[in-house]
Amino acid sequence: MKVTVNTPNKTYDIIIDKLSQITIDSKVAIITNPKVSGLHINYLTNKLKAKELHIITLPDGEEYKNWQSIEYALDRLFDAKFDRNSTLIAFGGGVIGDMTGFAASIFLRGIKFIQIPTTLLAMVDSSVGGKTGINNKYGKNLIGSFYQPEAVYIDTHFLSTLDKREFAAGMAEIIKMAVMFDKEFFENIKKGNLTLEEMIKRSVELKAEVVNQDEKEKGIRSVLNYGHTFGHVIENLTNYKTYLHGEAVAIGMIMANELSRELGLLSEKEAKEIKELLEKHNLPTDFKIDDVDDFYNHFFLDKKTADNKIKFIIPEKIGRYKIVKDLDENLVKKVLKKFER
């Protein structure tokens, strides 16, 4: 299975298949974390031929997605005398993918990189589309760049060692894509009609279509943030330690659905269907807000907020999205109060 991403700056393929031989005629650094390296590094290196191969291991987890990790990776590249012909391989989940892409985009003003995602969430979302970055104390992914990979290799072999929570987190992004863009896809997920590879392929196709139209998130690409506006606040308030990204997005989808219901758009029946599908895939759908005003103020730290106006992505119905701005503060807080502790 193959999906092609075709942006104004670059065309590249996403290959969904068992990993085949990869030959790179330059220095290569695999950037990974201890867990993925311990489980899968031999599987990858056995299929990789390079002039010179280096492995850079970064700590695992969202709290390490920061400048210190980037500096450590860059120092190793300088130590090994990497140059502009060299290539980085992101080998891990979304955190590793985002950091590797960002490092590639700023090392010597930009070198090549390849995505080999090892989590379901990274396969269907973060490895596709060229968003790279790190977190800081103000929020998530606030420092970064749009920088496309040379290729993305999706091999479901890596999912055999993925724990249940991580797998469920990936399902949240798959369900997100279906709710936003494709009712038939949603129904097929609900009925269990699709293989895992088919679900990955459809999600990647939908994401590629969006990225092709809007690489730098000036318009339709912002629709991919359904669930994220609320979810990022939840992650920030819990210091990125309580929920996996996909879990926070799942709760954020429920909150966005409540906002849509408050605006008289999404039907109660469809809101229930979305909630039931998330819960069927072992995803959380509730969060207790301690301070509604504080939660609301956190929206303004999000990079998607412009001119102090919050943009919300909501489903009008399953398969159809709506972007809403300039909502009355009291209306939004009314929705948040439904989740108050």
Which positions are catalytic?
109, 131, 173, 207, 217, 221, 225, 228, 232, 245
3-state secondary structure the chain: CEEEEECCCCEEEEEECCCCCEEEEEEEEEEECHHHHHHHHHHHHCCEEEEEEEEEECCCCHHHCCHHHHHHHHHHHHHCCCCCCCEEEEEECHHHHHHHHHHHHHHHHCCEEEEEECCHHHHHHHCCCCEEEEEECCEEEEEEEECCCCEEEECHHHHHHCCHHHHHHHHHHHHHHHHHHCHHHHHHHHHCCCCHHHHHHHHHHHHHHHHHHCCCCCCHHHHHHCCHHHHHHHHHHCCCCCCCHHHHHHHHHHHHHHHHHHCCCCCHHHHHHHHHHHHHCCCCCCCCECCHHHHHHHHHHCCCCECCECCEEEEEECCEEEEECCCCHHHHHHHHHCCEC
Q: Are strands 112-117 and 312-317 parallel, antiparallel or unpaired?
A: unpaired
Residue 122 structure tokens? 């990274």
CA–CA dist 264, 259 (Å, integer): 9
Contact 31, 58 (CB under 8 A): yes
Question: What type of residue is 53?
Answer: L
Cα separation of 281 and 186, whole Å?
13
Residue 143: Cβ-neighbour burial (10 angstroms; 0-12, 13-18, 19+): middle
Distance of alpha carbon 80 from alpha carbon 176, whole angstroms: 41
